[in-house]
Amino acid sequence: MAQGEPHSAGIRPLGGCSLLAESNQKNLLTIAERAAAKTSGATPVEKMVGDFFASGMDETAINAAGIPPLQPELDRLKAIKTPAEFLTALARLQPFGVGFRCGSSPDPKPSEPQRAVRG
């Protein structure tokens, strides 16, 4: 596939980093599922991981809870009046994937060993 050519639906590029990321995600899912399935004899860390994972997988409870668990954050966002308040809110939400990320990755051309990226 040539550079800049669109990917076909459902097909991802398979470079070393992509394969490593996919493998890592599968391993993390396995760890979380095993921790959630442990009903007895779990270590405190296994219990914490299992409970956290299970809480995010209980769609019935999440849907039943509705908006109220999010309301305090929504109210904070609604109260933003200045650019400084916006930046503070963005910084608080960034660990949850809101906003943008920045870092470095290998340059696809040999011109630079690393390049800055944002996503």
Q: Average pLDDT per run of 10 along the chain, which is 119 residues long?
A: 52 73 91 91 92 88 91 94 93 82 64 58
Give domain status of residue 27, yes or no.
Answer: yes
pLDDT value at position 2?
A: 46
The tens digit of pLDDT for each residue in 102-113 reads: 666 666 666 655
> In which domain, by residue range, is 24 found?
17-65
pLDDT value at position 39?
A: 82
Sign of the torsion angle spanned by Cα atoms 38, 41, 23, 106: positive
Tokens of residue 68, six digits: 């109220």
Whether 72 and 61 share a structural domain: no
Give domain status of residue 109, yes or no.
Answer: no
Q: How far apart are CA 107 and CA 117, in angstroms?
A: 10
Whether 21 and 56 share a structural domain: yes
pLDDT value at position 34?
A: 93
Rounded to whole angstroms, the maximal C-alpha distance in the chain is: 55
pLDDT value at position 82?
A: 95
pLDDT value at position 17?
A: 78
Are the beta carbons of 42 and 55 closer than 8 angstroms?
no
